[in-house]
Amino acid sequence: MFWLILVTLLWAFSFSLIGVYLAGQVDPYFSVLTRVLLALAVFLPLLRPAQTPRRVALQLMGIGAIQLGLMYLFYYQSLLLLSVPEVLLFTIFTPVYIALIYDGLQGRLSPHHLIAAAISVLGAAVIRWEKLDSGYWLGFLVVQGANLCFAIGQVAYKQLMSGRPTRDALRDFGWFYLGAAMVATVAWLVLGKPQYPTTSVQWGVLVWLGIIASGAGYFLWNRGATQVDAGTLAAMNNALIPAGLLVNLLIWNRDADLPRLLAGGILIAGAVVYSEACSRKASGREPPK
């Protein structure tokens, strides 16, 4: 849980940094490629190909291609169509996707996963639900593409790496970024435009996003995902919404409804607590009364 909370705080800045400094100013495909290559550069020295089974390496590359490569392509396009708060709003369905995908792979339906996800979605909706017209639906569909990629990647990594030592996970995570880099490179070569950063601030934002938000962030998030119940993972996906909006409010002075932010944040926190309690009970770890 600690890693998920830490990365939530880290990623809370990413939405606004991209929306303020990069979206519409720097080619999104170049931004994606730069972030992924910087993240790969962090983990490439740790790779030991001879020590990683080929099947695991290929699976990690596939997970990275979907969770990071494809997700980033959808995500950056969504910021060209929607504002930062609107993108945050449309991410509220990610917990439902996680719960359904995870339970589908297990061949069962766990009510507490769906309940935790639903409470989390409700909390996020309380924070950001606005009256939206038909002009937003293309942006909505693009964000759902990002949500699905992120959900699939999280569940797949959790299934593959749960129970493996942190040392092995750290050594092997470069394969994840290698898969993402392949997708990002092809996308940039085919669809990219010569619209590069023109200021030191834009380059600085890309470096921070690549090394910290992507390089450290995705490893810690995925590692955290292997250590919690699927319902908790689903609920934590929406904790980014109040955190991201709070950063947007405090730093860039964007309007936010503080009572709704508080109410929604309480619901999302309640979803996490509920999921953790159900997980302890199911595993026999319920604390003595």
Residues 44-72 pLDDT 10s: 999 999 999 999 999 999 999 999 989 98
Which parts of the chain fold into alpha helices (H)?
2-17, 28-43, 54-64, 71-81, 84-90, 94-106, 111-128, 137-161, 166-191, 200-208, 217-225, 230-236, 240-252, 258-282
The whole-angstrom separation of Cα 99 and Cα 110 is: 8
Burial of 189 (0-12, 13-18, 19+ CB in 10 A): exposed
Q: Which domain holds residue 108?
A: 2-279
Q: What is the pLDDT of residues 208-254, one digit of tens each?
A: 999 999 999 999 999 999 988 877 787 788 777 777 777 777 776 55
Residue 259 lies in a domain: yes
Mean pLDDT of the chain: 82
Closest C-alpha to 227, from 268, 279, 180: 279
Closest C-alpha to 265, from 250, 251, 246, 249: 246
Residue 73 lies in a domain: yes
**What is the rounded average pLDDT of the residues 6-23?**
84
Sign, CA torsion 56/57/63/67: positive
Sign, CA torsion 232/233/238/241: positive
The whole-angstrom separation of Cα 60 and Cα 180 is: 10
More confident residue, 82 or 255: 82
CA 146 distance to own-chain centroid? 9
Residue 285 lies in a domain: no
Residue 284 lies in a domain: no
135-155: string of b/e by CB count within 10 Å (b at 16+)? ebeebbebbbbbbbbbbbbbb
Residue 168 lies in a domain: yes
Closest C-alpha to 120, from 237, 8, 3: 237
Q: pLDDT band at 286, cuts 50/70/90?
A: very low
Residue 288 lies in a domain: no
Q: What is the pLDDT of residues 86-144, one digit of tens each?
A: 777 777 778 778 878 887 887 777 777 678 767 767 776 776 666 555 556 687 788 88
Number of domains in the chain: 1
Instruction: Write down the pTM of the prediction.
Output: 0.80
Say which DSSP state 164 is in. Answer: S
Residue 249 lies in a domain: yes
Q: What is the pLDDT of residue 255?
A: 59
Please state the length of the chain.
289
Residue 156 lies in a domain: yes
104-122: string of b/e by CB count within 10 Å (b at 16+)? eeeeeebebbbbbbbbbbb
For residue 31, pLDDT beyond 70:
yes
143, 87 Cβ separation under 8 angstroms:
yes
Q: What is the pLDDT of residue 280?
A: 66
Q: What is the pLDDT of residue 106?
A: 75
Q: pLDDT band at 78, cuts 50/70/90?
A: confident
The whole-angstrom separation of Cα 63 and Cα 79 is: 23
